[in-house]
Every structure is written in structure tokens, then in C-alpha cells.
Structure 1
Amino acid sequence: MTERKPIDCWLTDMDGVLVHEERAIPGAADFVTKLIESGRRFLVLTNNSIFTPRDLRARLLASGIDLPESAIWTSALATAQFLDDQRAHGSAYVIGEAGLTTALHEVGYVLTERSPDYVVLGETRTYSFEAITKAIRLIEKGARFIATNPDPSGPSPEGSLPATGSVAALITRATGVEPYFIGKPNPLMMRSALNRIDAHSETTVMIGDRMDTDVISGLEAGLRTILVLTGSTRAEQVERFPYRPTRVVDSVADLVDLIDELAPPPA
């Protein structure tokens, strides 16, 4: 990494990198504090579309990590931005929670069951058979199918829960229509984050805990990538993939000093 351009901007996944089941991973608070104090531009990314950035900031703060609301970029925000770019002031039938509905309202979208331009599927803790049936029928009538992220399952204290990817597969099986997924591993999520902080791919690094989402999406967006071993991908699994992260570290605690080491020299 030191042989290439200095790192001026940082993107990092949230779950598995900064927190695990709402508990801060050791070193995460120090890492975020260091980014803020150093003046580096950064964003915390998450495929979770349930919560608004304000909600997520409060949840992170409760775990001891203090970062501004503006530093959080969700798949819901990326989805709203994509739809605004594609069809400004359009309409959508939404299966999701406040994170997604708020993001769509803020870009001027109308949420409706009557001939929507899009069916937008996001994360929710209470998937309704009635809502899924409505989505299927609207897609059959011509609504375009968008999903915030392809994650098939999510964690809970009781075990795994079906997530957006699983419900999207159900709708696809019923309609024959594949959704367009916005969140990771779609590099569109990375590109929208870069634009959000006016960053360039050559001077930005992506930190993640999953080879099949964080690392591949960073790689395809032209970023350098760092895999931390505090989440989904274990050290012995890295070599199974046909691509590699730029660097592998035990945890985000190992990156605190790198912020200064990889930074551009003082002007």
C-alpha cells in the first residue's frame, strides 16, 4: 500500500468491523476518533436499510463509538439516490422500515400501492405475506424491481433471520423478475459513497470483514481494501477466493496508526 498514492479517505463497513451484535469491537472507538481528529474524510457503510443514520448514530454511541450522523451511508440512502438519479420524483411500493421510507421521502418519492414506478424491497423485522403478495402483483403489472441489498440472512439473539436476499428470491421465483440490488457487493454502493465525500478511488481504502461483499465491491470500484478478521471471513478462507485484499489485519485496532502512516505528507 505504501508504494501507491497516499490514503486520504477511508470507507469502512460497520458490522464485523466496528461493532458485533451492538457491542464495540476493541479499538473501533479509537479508530473513529483518530479519523475525526486527523481530518480524514470517511464514511461508515452498512447494507442494513432498517435504520436511519440518526438511529444508527444513537446505536453506535450506546456502544461507545461517537461519530457524526453525516458519516453514515446506508444501502437505503444509496437506493434513494439511485432512484432519484434514474427517475426523479417517481413513485414506489416499499417493503421496509423507517431507514428506507425516510430516505425515499427525502428525495421526493411518493410511496403508493397504485401503479408505482418501482417495487423497492428492503430489510424489515416483520415481513408480511400480504405485502410480499402485493409486491408480486405489482411487478407482474410492470413495476420495476429494486432491492436494497442481497444479504440472504441476518443475525438476531435467537439465531439467523431471513433478510432481503431471501425475500427477493421468493419474489423472483413467483414473478420471473430479478431485482437490481443496490448495496454491497454492487460497486455502485462504493461509487455513491465516494461521491458523497468527494473522494477519489486511487486515494481511498475500504475496510470490511467479508471477502464476498466488502472486499469485492471495493476492488471492483478501484479501491485498496483491508480485511479485518473480526467478522465473517476467517483467515484460512482468504486463499479460497480468486481475488485478494490489499492487506489483512486482525482487527480495526491495528489500523489506528496506519491513518497517519498512509496519509499524504503535510502541505
Structure 2
Amino acid sequence: MKKYSCYLIDLDGTIYRGKETIESGVEFVHRLDETKIPYLFLTNNTTRTPEMVVAKLQDHGVKTDVSHIYTPVMATASYLKDKHPRNTPIRIYVIGQIGVRKGLFSDPRFVLDDQNPEYVIVGMDTDLTYHKIRTACRCIRNGATFIATNADKVLPANGELLPGNGSQCAMIATASGQEPLFIGKPAKPIIDYALKKINKTKAETLIVGDYYQTDICAGINSHIDTLLTLTGVTKKTDLQSVDVQPTYVVNNLNEWQL
């Protein structure tokens, strides 16, 4: 079995399930710390700041810091700054919660503009209103580039599936006539920027997660090896209908040898 010197690790379904701790996931992180193998927690959740993610992980027995957290908001910020000359303002209209707003507007380069922005950025917003959708669509039709933090159509929570950011974006895409550029898993941008942050190559990296459609497809789309843990969304029977199998499948992360 190939040895990897870097891990990109999903959270919900891998380290915890809502408020429930997945002990094998926590022990896996402890083993990485003991062997000093670099890793990033790679989440699609944009409703929390990195500091909030650190606090949640600590509640589940994982002591870490923001240097180990990577989100679609962070990747979005990097993507936009790469598109513009250094120190020039970037005008944006944003739909999203604290994770999106604080993650972008804490950087003075990002300027809120609800009239003529260069970009409309949409993250998960449980307080979504018709007015926000109307503003986003108007800006997109006037030429703003439509960016979605992630494509998750639904979110598992307390035994039900809630509408996700992908569903929000589908409505805006229909009304505006423009499909978004997706940043988070399974799209490539978040993987490219995460590897740049941790200074590792694709060949030495393994993506770990519980959901085929996001975590595993992120690896497939970026040509990175994948490890599916059957502790979350995707079950073994689900793999019978997919074209490309994960590189590895385990019942839980205690089965994985570093």
C-alpha cells in the first residue's frame, strides 16, 4: 500500500456526525499528529469561521488551530486575489452567513457592492430572502461573475436532508441565466489552493472523506488518490452504481495504516 505524506480530511461524516463524535476519525487525527504527517481539514461548510471549526473539533476531542482548516471561502478569496493586481479593491456582492462574510470582508481588498459588483459570491444562507436573490440575479445579469462556494444540493441534519448551497445556486442560475463557477468540493479550485497552502503535490496526497459525490469526486476530478470511510453518507452498496471507484475503502479509519 502506498504511503502518503499529506492528507486532506473531510469533517462531517469523517470526524463527527453533527454532535456525535466518530472515534475512529478522532484517533486517525491523533495518529497523524503523533507521526507528524501534515494535514488539512477540508470542509465545504461556509456557515462557520475557521475559529468556529477549531472550537467544534475541540468539542470532539481534536486539538488543532486555524492553520489546519481550509474552507471554500479561503479558496474563493485566493482565487479572486489571483485575478486582480495586488492591492486593488475587488467589488463583491455576497450571500452567506458569518463564515462567508467574515472570511471575505476581514480582508480590506474586498468591498461590498450591491449595485455594480464584479462578482456575486453565494454561500449557504439559512436566512436567504427574495431580496437577496433578486439583488444577486440583477448583478449577474449586469455582468458580475457568479461564484458558488460549493455545489452541495442537500445537507444531512438530524435525520433529514436540508436544502444546500447548490440548491440556492440553482435557483439563482435559473433566474439569472448564468451557471456559477464552483470553488468547493468536488470542484478543483479548493484542492489546488489547499495543496498550495500546505506545499504538497498531488502525488503525495490522499483525500479522506465519507461522501462519494463531494470528497471522492474531488479527488477524482483533481487526479488525487482517495480514501472513502463508510462512517457517513456513502454506503458500500452505493459504490455499485459509480463509474470510478475510490482508491481505497474502509469501514472506519481505524483500518487505515499510515
Shorter-chain TM band: over 0.9
| SS in structure 1 of the partner of residue 54 of structure 2 | helix
* 1:186-225 equivalent positions in 2, closer than 5 A: 186-225=187-226
Distance 1:220 1:159, change over 3 A: closer
Alignment gaps of 5+ in structure 1? 260-267
Post-superposition offset of 1:24: 1.5
Partner in structure 2 of residue 39 of structure 1: 36
- Please tell me whether the aligned partners of residues 32 and 67 of structure 1 are also in contact (alpha carbons under 8 angstroms): no
Post-superposition offset of 1:253: 2.4
Partner in structure 2 of residue 92 of structure 1: 92
Q: Distance in 1 between matches of 2:134 and 2:203?
A: 45
- Please tell me whether the aligned partners of residues 194 and 200 of structure 1 are also in contact (alpha carbons under 8 angstroms): yes
Q: Distance in 2 between matches of 1:8 and 1:63?
A: 25
- Please tell me whether the aligned partners of residues 141 and 177 of structure 2 are also in contact (alpha carbons under 8 angstroms): no
Aligned length: 254
Bigger mean CA offset, 152-161 vs 171-180: 152-161
Partner in structure 1 of residue 45 of structure 2: 48
Post-superposition offset of 1:114: 2.6
Q: Distance in 1 between matches of 2:84 and 2:19?
A: 36
Post-superposition offset of 1:158: 7.1
Post-superposition offset of 1:63: 2.1
Post-superposition offset of 1:30: 1.5
Post-superposition offset of 1:65: 2.1
2:130 corresponds to 1:133: no
Q: Distance in 2 between matches of 1:65 and 1:179?
A: 34
- Matched to 1:119, the amino acid is V
Deviation string, structure 1 residues 179-226 (Cα, Å, up to 9, x no partner)? 111111112211111111001111111111122221121122222111
Deviation string, structure 1 residues 91-114 (Cα, Å, up to 9, x no partner)? 100000121112212442112213
Post-superposition offset of 1:71: 0.5
Q: Distance in 2 between matches of 1:64 and 1:129?
A: 40
- Matched to 1:44, the amino acid is F
Bigger mean CA offset, 208-217 vs 80-89: 80-89
| SS in structure 1 of the partner of residue 157 of structure 2 | coil
- Please tell me whether the aligned partners of residues 32 and 66 of structure 1 are also in contact (alpha carbons under 8 angstroms): no
Q: Distance in 2 between matches of 1:83 and 1:215?
A: 26
Q: 1:67 aligns with which of 47, 64, 67?
A: 64
Percent identical pairs in the alignment equals: 35
Alignment gaps of 5+ in structure 2? none
| SS in structure 1 of the partner of residue 203 of structure 2 | helix
Partner in structure 2 of residue 123 of structure 1: 124
Distance 1:173 1:59, change over 3 A: same
- Please tell me whether the aligned partners of residues 50 and 123 of structure 1 are also in contact (alpha carbons under 8 angstroms): yes
- Please tell me whether the aligned partners of residues 24 and 65 of structure 1 are also in contact (alpha carbons under 8 angstroms): no
- Please tell me whether the aligned partners of residues 32 and 65 of structure 1 are also in contact (alpha carbons under 8 angstroms): yes
TM-score, scaled to structure 2: 0.93
Q: 1:13 aligns with which of 2, 6, 10?
A: 10
- Matched to 2:220, the amino acid is L
Please provide the CA RMSD for this pair.
1.5
- Please tell me whether the aligned partners of residues 151 and 184 of structure 2 are also in contact (alpha carbons under 8 angstroms): yes
Post-superposition offset of 1:159: 3.0
| SS in structure 2 of the partner of residue 155 of structure 1 | strand
Q: Distance in 2 between matches of 1:252 and 1:129?
A: 43
Distance 1:239 1:158, change over 3 A: closer
